[in-house]
Amino acid sequence: MKIVFDIGGSVLVPDKPDVGFIEEIAYQLTKISEDHEIAVVVGGGKIAREYINAARAFTQNETFKDYIGIHITRANAMLLIAALREKAYPFVVSDFRKAWEVMQLKKIPIMGGTHPGHTTDAVAALLAEYLQADLLVIVTNVDGVYDSDPRKNPNAKKLEKISTEQLVEIAMQSESKAGGSGVVDALAAKFIQRGKIRTLVIGKEDARNLFDVIKGKHSGTLVEP
């Protein structure tokens, strides 16, 4: 299979880099890469948000702040590259075609952000579309897609299986609320729908065993076109 992994910054670098988790993920990815073609996108997490908030004191320029976020995602990507050692291409990849080229060399391409105006979820969805991946695995700080925000609604129900249309609907609902950030951002959901990408949304605990996750053993949400 060809698989794209989208690892949220909040999972990899919650307050500071989770070294143990990065090591576990690197081990799982290495094992998976023996039988599958894989690419990885890494997010910015809390550190990106802190830098962006700090920059608000000096500038109103959102695009400028996005560039700051992109730099942080790339610093996180460098950490994963370090953990993957010679399995990873040693530079952070910033172009989908380069990611493809790196995969032909049997190395794992690691991407962070690319351009201002979206998040790394959107990057991962576009990469999966570009590579015609069989599966996109989104690792986030919620353990799946819920019918409402589980951090606010104790009665929220986790959905085992949804369509890409339902994902778009749910992502749009949470996006429209002030300060609301859904489990998958709305633009990424749109790209997943457009690319008809089979997607798994899982949490950090499942991610510790990505090897089983790709075989279907997980407690997250399967999104099917």
Q: Which residues contribute to the site for ligand UTP (CB under 6 A)?
A: 8-10, 43-45, 48-49, 52, 66, 69-70, 73, 113-120, 123, 181
Shortest Å distance, C-beta 162 to ligand UTP: 20
Q: Which residue is nearest to ligand UTP (CB)?
A: 69
Q: Which is nearer to ligand UTP, 43 or 195 (CB)?
A: 43
Which residues face 221 on adjacent strands? 201
Q: Which is nearer to ligand UTP, 9 or 203 (CB)?
A: 9
Shortest Å distance, C-beta 104 to ligand UTP: 24
Shortest Å distance, C-beta 55 to ligand UTP: 10
Shortest Å distance, C-beta 35 to ligand UTP: 27
Burial label, 9 (beta-carbon count in 10 A; 0-12, 13-18, 19+): buried
Please provide the DSSP assignment of 185-198 as one string. Answer: -HHHHHHHHHTT--
Q: Which is nearer to ligand UTP, 90 or 117 (CB)?
A: 117
By 3-state DSSP, what share of the chain in percent is helix, strand and coil, each rounded to 5?
A: 45, 15, 35
Shortest Å distance, C-beta 105 to ligand UTP: 24
Cβ atoms of residues 210 and 29 within 8 Å? yes
Q: Which is nearer to ligand UTP, 70 or 168 (CB)?
A: 70
Q: Which H or E element spans position 207? A: helix 204-207
Cβ atoms of residues 10 and 223 within 8 Å? no
Q: Which is nearer to ligand UTP, 142 or 213 (CB)?
A: 142
Nearest to 110 by CA among 190, 201, 12, 203: 12
